[in-house]
Amino acid sequence: MGTDLRQRSAQARRLFELADQITALPITQLCADGPLERLTDTDVAQPAVVTTSLAALAVLREECGVVDIAAVAGHSVGEFAAYVAAGVLDAEAALRLVQVRAQAMAAACASVDGSMAAVLGLDEPALREACMLASQNGSSVEVANLNAPGQLVVSGARDALERVAESARASGARRVLPLKVGGPFHSVYMRPAADAVRQALIETPLRRAEVPVVVNASAEATCEPDELRHELAVQVYSAVRWTATLERLAALGCDRFLEVGPGTVLAGLVRRTLPDARVASFGAISDLRGACALL
């Protein structure tokens, strides 16, 4: 992950070196060689994803020249990279905040036997009702990601997840797929992690965004530092309203979407939500021609 970006760009290499330094973890080595089991641990995965996204952004700007961005958004931890793209944070500040977030979320995950599951083919009201019924005896489950029409994610304690899976299938869900994640992200169980992020944000200056940022928790657009600071804390335990985020971006006039970072998942969600949009991904040098053409 990110190897060809590092080979192409001195700035990309410096970003990975910075991540190694800030986290005191071999992020560069793990992105290049794995093992996958360690790379996907919460404390590694979050800085790894953001570092690779920032490296891709640096290469994009070097290779395509001035990138005319109308607005930005980031999915979950990707919101930190979006803040850098919008000029709210520099890369070092973003990675330091991500390190706090990753460590705090890993600690919160260790305190509960929890996970997440994707629910396909069920609408939001029906799934919220199923979550309410499944939250029993001190175990909670809730809607965590609204990724695309018919593609939702629930998060919570494992026993509550089992109950909501049965209820969702009975209500007409096509599939319920357990996710390989470190714990119940974007749920009430992450509130202790949000406290740590909030404290770190108090000590971190944020600049006014150069372009609107559409934020996860409300799917509203803002450029204001106080609102952006509030978002990074509450999004840790709030649902990622990605469908509404994309619709808000479209309402702002965006008709071209470029996913910057590892993978192509978000590009696929754009295609499902906004079928008339032009979409590309850039996370590797082989994607460069298509990304520059879109821009």
Query: Catalytic residue among 140, 186, 238, 281, which?
Result: 186
Say how many C-beta atoms besides its own lie within 10 A of residue 198's C-beta.
Answer: 16
In degrees, rounded to 5, the angle at the alpha carbon of residue 76 between the alpha carbons of residues 73 and 81 is 55
DSSP conformational letter for 4: H
How far is residue 291's CA from residue 295's CA, in Å, rounded to a whole number? 6
Catalytically annotated residue among 9, 53, 76, 139: 76
Say whether 186 is catalytic: yes
Asked whether 282 and 258 are in contact (CB, 8 A), the reply is yes
Catalytic residue flag (residue 111): no
d(CA 20, CA 188): 30
Distances (CA, A) of 28 to 38, 51, 108: 13, 9, 25
| 12, amino acid identity | A
- Can you tell me whether residue 135 is helix, strand or coil? coil
Residues catalogued as catalytic: 76, 186
